[in-house]
Amino acid sequence: MHYDHQVQVRYGETDQMGVVHHANYLLYFEEARTAFLASHGQPYGQLEKDGLALPVRKLDMRFRSPAHYEDQLRVRVAVDRITAASVRFVYEIWRDATETQIATGSTELACIDLKAEPRVPHVLPKSMRELFG
C-alpha cells in the first residue's frame, strides 16, 4: 500500500545553487505523509486534537538528482514498519516528466502523549495499527 502525492517546487524553496535546498524535501515528505494519512481517514490534525502526536525521531535521506524551481514532483510514500508506538514511512521523490529519481528517504515517528511533560510514548491509535499493521 502506497500513496502518490504531487508537489510543485516553490521559488522560495530553491537556494543559490539553483536547486531545491535539501531541508525542504522534509517538508515534501511531511506533506505527502499527512496526505496519505488523511486519504485513509486518519487526518493528523485530528490525532493532535485527541491528545496524541507523532514527532519524527529518526530520519535519513539520499539525494539522487537535483530538483528545480517549478518542477512537478511526485512523492511516493508507504509504511515500512509499524510497532505498538512507532511507525516508519519510506519515500521516493520523482520528476515524472524526465523519469528522474530525485531523492529517497525514511522517517520514523514515535507516538507520544501530548498531555505528558516530559514526553512519554503512547500506543498508536488502534485504527492506525489496523490500517498499516
44 part of the interface to a copy of itself, by CB under 8 A: yes
15 is catalytic: yes
Q: Are 80 and 29 in contact (CB under 8 A)?
A: no
Q: Are 91 and 75 in contact (CB under 8 A)?
A: yes
14 part of the interface to a copy of itself, by CB under 8 A: yes
Q: In this complex, which beta carbon is closest to a copy of itself, that of residue 81 or of residue 119?
A: 119
Backbone angles phi, psi at 117, to 5 degrees: -140, 110
Give the residue, chosen from 2, 40, 41, 70, that forms a contact with a copy of itself under the rule CB under 8 A: 70
Binding site residues, a copy of itself, CB under 8 A: 8, 10-12, 14-19, 21-24, 26-27, 30-31, 34, 38, 43-45, 48, 53, 55-63, 65-66, 68-70, 114, 118-119
